Structure 1
Amino acid sequence: MRILIASLALLTAAPAVAQDDLTALSDEFNGTELSGWTRFDQAYGWPDKLKAIDLGKTTPGALHLEPYDVAWVRDLNAPFLFKEVQGDFDVRARVRVKSANGDIPGGTWSLGGLMARVPNGSTAANWRPRAENWHFITTGVGQAAGQQMTETKSTFNSYSSLKLRPFPTGWVELRLVRMGMVMIALARPDGETKWQVRDRFYRMEFRPQMQVGLIAYTTSDDSAKGPENPEGINRSVNTTARVDMQLDVDWIRFSRPKLKTSPDWVQQVTGAGNPMADPNLSEEAILAAIGN
């Protein structure tokens, strides 16, 4: 293990770039107007599924989002604010997901956090199924009401797989690190210094561009249950279903990863150009390689 960690350290020892080209994408949300962000619904012709959005009014110094009854799963879409990123990245956000009157959002499947999505050219006008590809890490409530979790989810051609793991309420930091074909999802409670690896994703992705940003979604017991019609659901907004989920984002910060990987796909799949693709890599080695 010590040899492996040392090898990873050597790969990160290249001289740092004078100025990280991704830091300009960061946002402290201290202003009065939200700028530089693309809204998924507005960009692709979908209806507005945000019950509320404001900057610094509900929560001073923070972006505030409240979604209607929506979900990011399979072919369904929900509120998403993003910036386009070419190549590898390390994105972090300090967020809080809660209800109107408490630390835990109401209902079930009420979560918010970070997502990295592969653009697919699909719009409301030319929508087609089985075209969604993305990874995310969120915090909030999953299938069990009143229990705070992190949810990590990976969707490949609109087939979603997820993991729910207990996590503290209140402000937390979430993190996604893309290094070639590897994506690492991390989280840490507010005030702690050590990151926790919550999931690892491995997928060959030849397109360097991803949409990276913030998502919020929730479900309502008022919604009618039945067969899922994603196109119909995506084109409509249930504004009367009761929801109780709020996402506050104190800041989001972008940078290039500490670990540099080979752009050659053969080097990626053999592991020679990306040691992070080793499924046996320990959490200790991952944290040593990506830094704090």
Structure 2
Amino acid sequence: MRSLLWLALLSPVASADDLSPLGDEFDARDGVAPWTLFHQAYGWPDKIKHLDIGRTTPGVLNLQPQHSAWVRDLNAPFLFRDVQGDFDVRARVRVRGEAGDIAGGSWSLGGLLARVPNRSSAAQWQPRRENWHFITTGVGHLPGRQMTETKGTYNSYSSLKLRPFPAGWVELRLVRVGMALVALARADGQAQWQVRDRWYRMEHNPAMQVGLVAYTHSDDVPHDIPEDPEVINRSREPGARTDMVMEVDWIRFARPRLAAVPDWYAQVSANPLADTGLSDAQVLAMLGD
């Protein structure tokens, strides 16, 4: 039975790809439609310092966040599309300083985020409702050191990994196959993807908000201990100095090479991407290029 479930799960997707229209090459235009801005959708303050599509640099989205963070119950600038079911989303991204190749300060990162929607808006906020995964690039805890950050959050409890990675343009990738998610990255000029993180979550909701996130820290703002997310999320620091720019050349959506069978038991008993013994090479072979 287990082998039959594996075969069903590993069947290549044969149908036409219905997610490709969600992608964006960021040709110049006014506004961000058809993207949804998280703060507008949920009634939070706008923490975007600058945002344009194809104006600052032709064919590139330019996003500069104010002091903010996407961790635990905290939120930051996030542009998303609604996606049902499995996906393979990729973006060519560069996170830099306004005048340098590396963002200034610490915790200045941007990249791809996939979030499970909830009803916790600014008007009806409730703690411990956040569930999402991301892969970003930029500066983490140590200033001047380029990293990828991967982060999984379950009911607002975040676990993260920081790993060194080249500065400059990189491709980031998030793949969902049923209850398994994989985060990948490769620097410009690299042919091979690197598996940066893998997660398995008991998540029956087929809907996720998938898109681009960016956040940065300013030394002008003291770190609140203990952290009060409701107060922090409702606060803006437009005068706080920051030095972080996220540029996005393109973002592209597709169905993954593998199709997850719509059966919970197949997911908990046979999803091979959930197996801890699976090597990175095996993961890459399953997901394809």
Matched AA of 2:216: T
Specify whether residues 261 and 69 from structure 1 end up closer, same or farther in structure 2 by C-alpha distance, changes over 3 A only: same
Over 3 Å counting, the alpha-carbon distance change for 1:226 and 1:196 in structure 2 is same
Mapped pair 1:285 → 2:282: yes
Per the TM alignment, residue 57 of structure 1 is displaced from its structure 2 partner at its CA by 1.6
Aligned length, in residue pairs: 284
Residues 28-84 of structure 1: per-residue CA shift (max 9 Å, x gap): 101323321000001111111000001112222100000000000111000000000
In 1, Cα distance between equivalents of 2:180 and 2:223: 36
Q: What corresponds to 2:262 in structure 1?
A: 263
Matches within 5 A, 1:188-227: 188-227=186-225
TM-score, normalised to structure 2's length? Answer: 0.95
Q: What is the letter of the counterpart of residue 188 of structure 1?
A: R
Rounded Cα–Cα distance in structure 2 between residues aligned with 1:74 and 1:51: 22
Counterpart residue type for residue 213 of structure 1: G
Q: Distance in 1 between matches of 2:28 and 2:109?
A: 25
- SS at the partner of 1:233? helix
Give the structure 2 partner of residue 235 of structure 1.
234
Give me the identity figure in percent: 64
What CA distance in whole angstroms lies between the structure 2 residues aligned with 1:258 and 1:243? 40
Tell me the equivalent position of 1:116: 114
Q: Match of 2:19?
A: 22
User: Which stretch has the larger CA shift, 42-51 or 226-235?
Assistant: 226-235
Once the two structures are superposed, residues 174-204 of structure 1 have per-residue CA deviations (whole angstroms, 9 ceiling, x without a partner) of 0000001100000000121110000001101
Aligned 8 A contact 1:179 1:259 in 2: yes
1:165 partnered with 2:163: yes
Aligned-residue offset at 1:9? 9.1
| Cα distance in 2 for residues equivalent to 1:52 and 1:225 | 23
Give the structure 2 partner of residue 137 of structure 1.
Answer: 135
The residue identity in structure 1 corresponding to 2:60 is A
- Provide the residue aligned with 2:272 in structure 1: 275
TM-score for both structures, normalised by structure 1: 0.94
Map of 1:248 onto structure 2? 247
Distance 2:162 2:12 in 1: 36
State the AA in 1 paired with 2:189: G
Amino acid at match of 1:142: G
Contact 1:177 / 1:257 at 8 angstroms: preserved in 2? yes
Map 1:84-123 onto structure 2 (within 5 A). 84-123=82-121
Counterpart of 1:118, as a letter, is: V
Q: Does the 8 Å contact 1:9/1:289 carry over to 2?
A: no
> Distance in 2 between the 1:207 and 1:9 partners?
23
